[in-house]
Structure 1
């Protein structure tokens, strides 16, 4: 286990700081926005803006990474996200906040791409499960800690935004200082949602529906709690309990779906979450413990919807198509999360704060009805035909983690051109200095294998001098 985790410790630490800042900001903004007098629609726009940026980051983030490399792209995205976190209290208005939130969503999607492609690159077939499981545990744990960090300072304090910025900034330190080599250039995935819908409609609808619900919960869950008369600190604890319930519910529901039709497990979880949602919609401020238990139960039944949908999609996916399917499921989740907060805002405006969970109940029932229709139209896969549930390949931590390595020859994958060769780098160096190039028979591999105590540049200097050039000595070069 230690040998499997050691090469990616810096990446795990960096992602932990990043996700802690993400969790803090996700809980802080709805609460602060409510105190600033933002309307339900304005708060809904904040949630939608984040996921618009997130989807844009999923689509265009790989090109940012291709241009700059993993480490520099990570540093740039952390810098922009950290700046956005500090900009919120400087320009308090729904429009500016939506813009900052969109930028933050783009940065987070890019950071997920960097972290998870790095982990996939470092993992082998024998260590992939251990590496990804460690990543999922770090992700769940640090997001929860970030949510609870809201309780450290009053919501009105600038310190809340400063802490979010600090956490994001610290994420760059272990990545920038790592002596581990960067991963290979990230592959660009071609999305085909229509293909997924034709092959597994239940997974398509399940992933989109999960976004419709979770996008609304992230955007309005804290506001729902404070509307009952509880404090902002209590709202943060409630959101953490929902998240913990969702994290705990992932594995048992996933394993249960290995032995039964995954669609039946999805429907059962949706019906159970509907019951919890209806009870929460009628909740009053009389019993905090009851509210906490209902939030935990709702999270345990509703949050694993994404994982079950992803696992169902993987069952009908060939191993070489895993990357495309995983990325498409994530994209559908993001699309649903854009729409969900806006619809929830409209329902809450007319039905009150409890309308948030009324909306969730209606969505879950509609999803369950659709999947029941699909169960009648298509027979279930046998246990032998299904792949085992893997929490590290289906967890909704933000990026497309796959249980298989990237197949560079697959037609749906676009592999970028490799970076400049050693020859072109040395040639450029010598041409810039104004010295003649080594002849065509020069062996560049020998140049890189410099004798002990010499730098590769010194070896090149010797080769150039043998070719008739006059390379300045080391003292002249340094001056």
Structure 2
């Protein structure tokens, strides 16, 4: 294990620098847009553009990686991504920012493909879960750190945009200087959305709705925080609390879902997220900053794990050879929701004020809970022997690279063998 982690040292350092910049940029843009009076609709369009570019990167990035290799693509995408923050700071226009944000989304989709296929290639069956746990821990930690960096300087100046560019630029150094040869080149696989819905209607709808809510949150929550409080530091604390809530709850909720069932946990997560959102929708009525931050922690702890549980639920119903297609399709459903979500929420905020952001997420989460209850009356949940372990689903849910991998990841291949053995026993 130590030898494996040593091979990942350069990559993890690059990831930490890259995602620290991503965390800062993710909060800086909507805060600056609010201060520039762009309005919720334009801020929503900027947020939706990121996920549009991200989805395009998911669909097209594999061909680029296959053509020139992982290290060169990482260097190229990092170089392009590092130029974008400076352009944001120099060209303060909503239309220009929409285009720039879409380019950033495309860059990061391709970067995630490189990073996560690298992890999958080097990790073994025995340590893959630990490797990805460390990866998720680093991701959550540095995203939170980046969001807190908003407090370093005035967001209306170029300084913070330059810091983002510097972090992106230096992230490439440890990766290109590494002696590791890099992972195998990926191959494409086909996503069948009709088959996906047939396999798991509840999982498909839950992932789509997770995109509708989480996409709106990432695009508009900083603007919400600026609107409900005169204290600009609230945006940093609020976003950090949400991220930490999601990080803290991910594994406990997954553990319970392995034991009490996916559907009950999906329902409870959706209801808790809806209740937290109901409280946050009243934030502009004199609610104190600590209460807003605590509600944000609660919202993140319920809303962010919902996607991974939905992936696990879908894989419980899938055949082993369909695991990659299912996880890839659910990722695309999430991306589609994340494109539309900011636009819907922005329109509501334009009409009804900042609190409408969380009224939007509350309604969506209530619909998710209701739909899953309905599906439970239509088809029984699989038995415990049919469950894919949540740890395996975390690898699937968190890995963009598998959209392009024709062969199953070794860890998921083990799950296929285990399920086949169970089938043989039942026969």
Please give the alpha-carbon distance, in whole angstroms, between the structure 1 residues aligned to 2:100 and 2:301: 31
Deviation at 1:3, TM superposition (A): 2.3
1:317 and 2:287 are equivalent in the alignment: no
Structure 1 segment 91-170 matched on structure 2, within 5 A:
91-170=91-170
Matched residue, 1:358: 359
Matched residue, 2:182: 182
Structure 1 segment 5-404 matched on structure 2, within 5 A:
5-283=5-283, 284-390=285-391, 393=394, 399-400=400-401
> Is the 2:327–2:397 contact (alpha carbons within 8 Å) kept by the matching residues of 1?
no
Please give the alpha-carbon distance, in whole angstroms, between the structure 1 residues aligned to 2:353 and 2:201: 33
Please give the alpha-carbon distance, in whole angstroms, between the structure 1 residues aligned to 2:307 and 2:280: 22
Matched residue SS, 2:90: coil
> Is the 2:86–2:165 contact (alpha carbons within 8 Å) kept by the matching residues of 1?
yes
Deviation at 1:401, TM superposition (A): 6.2
TM-score by length of 2: 0.92
Deviation at 1:304, TM superposition (A): 0.9
> Is the 1:220–1:356 contact (alpha carbons within 8 Å) kept by the matching residues of 2?
yes
> Is the 2:85–2:164 contact (alpha carbons within 8 Å) kept by the matching residues of 1?
yes
Please give the alpha-carbon distance, in whole angstroms, between the structure 1 residues aligned to 2:402 and 2:226: 35
> Is the 1:307–1:391 contact (alpha carbons within 8 Å) kept by the matching residues of 2?
no
TM-score by length of 1: 0.82
Change in 2 beyond 3 A, CA 1:286/1:385: closer
Deviation at 1:232, TM superposition (A): 2.5
> Is the 1:136–1:392 contact (alpha carbons within 8 Å) kept by the matching residues of 2?
no
5+ residue gaps, structure 2: 410-427
Measured against aligned partners, the alpha-carbon deviations of 1:49-102 in whole angstroms (never above 9, x if no partner) come to 000000000000011111111111100000110011110011111110000000
Change in 2 beyond 3 A, CA 1:279/1:368: same
Please give the alpha-carbon distance, in whole angstroms, between the structure 1 residues aligned to 2:369 and 2:90: 44
Please give the alpha-carbon distance, in whole angstroms, between the structure 2 residues aligned to 1:270 and 1:27: 25
Mean Cα deviation higher: 322-331 or 107-116: 322-331
> Is the 1:136–1:395 contact (alpha carbons within 8 Å) kept by the matching residues of 2?
no
Change in 2 beyond 3 A, CA 1:103/1:42: same
Change in 2 beyond 3 A, CA 1:358/1:25: same
The answer to which structure has the higher helix fraction is 2
Matched residue, 1:433: none
Please give the alpha-carbon distance, in whole angstroms, between the structure 1 residues aligned to 2:343 and 2:293: 25
Aligned residues: 407
Of the two, which has the highest radius of gyration?
1
Please give the alpha-carbon distance, in whole angstroms, between the structure 2 residues aligned to 1:405 and 1:247: 30
Deviation at 1:319, TM superposition (A): 3.4
Please give the alpha-carbon distance, in whole angstroms, between the structure 1 residues aligned to 2:334 and 2:357: 19
Structure 1 segment 428-443 matched on structure 2, within 5 A:
none
Deviation at 1:391, TM superposition (A): 7.1
Please give the alpha-carbon distance, in whole angstroms, between the structure 2 residues aligned to 1:286 and 1:263: 33
Please give the alpha-carbon distance, in whole angstroms, between the structure 1 residues aligned to 2:218 and 2:380: 35
> Using CA pairs below 8 Å that are at least 6 residues apart, which structure has the higher relative contact order?
2
Please give the alpha-carbon distance, in whole angstroms, between the structure 2 residues aligned to 1:13 and 1:368: 39
Matched residue SS, 2:179: coil
Change in 2 beyond 3 A, CA 1:380/1:397: closer
Name the Cα RMSD after superposition: 1.8
Mean Cα deviation higher: 11-20 or 319-328: 319-328
Measured against aligned partners, the alpha-carbon deviations of 1:378-415 in whole angstroms (never above 9, x if no partner) come to 0011111102111772586573569x99349xxxxxxx
Matched residue SS, 2:389: coil
